[in-house]
Amino acid sequence: MKESRSAFFAHHDPALIDKIRKAVVSIAGAGGLGSNVAYSLARVGIGKLIIADFDIIEISNLNRQQYFIDQVGQLKVDALKHNLGKIQPFSEYIMHNIKIDEDNISQIFGEADLLIEAFDKAVMKKMLIEKWISLFPDKPVICASGLAGYGRNDIIGIQKIDNLYICGDQISETSGSISPMAPRVGIVANMQANLALEILFQDISAGSCNENID
């Protein structure tokens, strides 16, 4: 196990490994955004992921969420923990089967270096952002807004306001005719994950454009 753990990290820049292992990232939601963010951060090897969701997997979720047809009916947090463990078992995955509200944000997510907002409903996004900013003004929160439909890669961007980051196009709303689809949800989720790494590693100069990738 120890050998495979070292082998898992063999391709990383050694300067990053300590940061990666000590990092704690909270993810609010385990749907299209959250499951994709979790997959990427687990593959990076982030030391601890704290993930909260209260939903059960439905067959309609499989168009964009990182679950499998034999997991339909399971709690998302249980299925995601299982799937992340199959990717790599060297990180800690702390799962909470709970609906997040203003009163439990601090207790559930407060330990993290940063929070990734991965909710579906705008009203929940707003609640989470406003509460996090007031609780932890110095800890970054990375949100997603505007990711429904397909195409239009070029209008997906990032807005930064102090420690609040918004990934997405801030236009495309999920509605009857425009549903979220795997590629665009995956792009925005991975922008969130990528931005999380940039923030976690910001004081390491070797970071973002490593020329020694083989």
Partner 1 sequence: MKILIKVNDNPLEWEKNMTIDTILKKMKYSFKMLVVKVNGELVKKSEFGNFIIPEEADVKVIHLISGG
| Residues found near partner 1 in the complex (CB under 8 A) | 29, 31-34, 118-123, 125-126, 129-130, 133-134, 143-148, 159, 161-162, 164, 166, 168, 170-174, 180, 185
CB 17 to partner 1: min, Å: 31
Which CB, 104 or 174, lies closer to partner 1?
174
CB 190 to partner 1: min, Å: 14
d(CA 166, CA 159): 5
d(CA 133, CA 145): 17
Could you tell me where the beta strands, DSSP code E, fall in the chain? 24-28, 48-53, 92-97, 114-117, 141-144, 157-161, 164-168
Which CB, 32 or 45, lies closer to partner 1?
32
Cβ atoms within 10 Å of 125's Cβ, excluding its own? 19
Cα distance between the two ends of the chain: 25
Which CB, 19 or 125, lies closer to partner 1?
125
Which CB, 45 or 146, lies closer to partner 1?
146
CB 175 to partner 1: min, Å: 9
CB 111 to partner 1: min, Å: 23
3-state secondary structure of 112: coil
d(CA 22, CA 110): 15
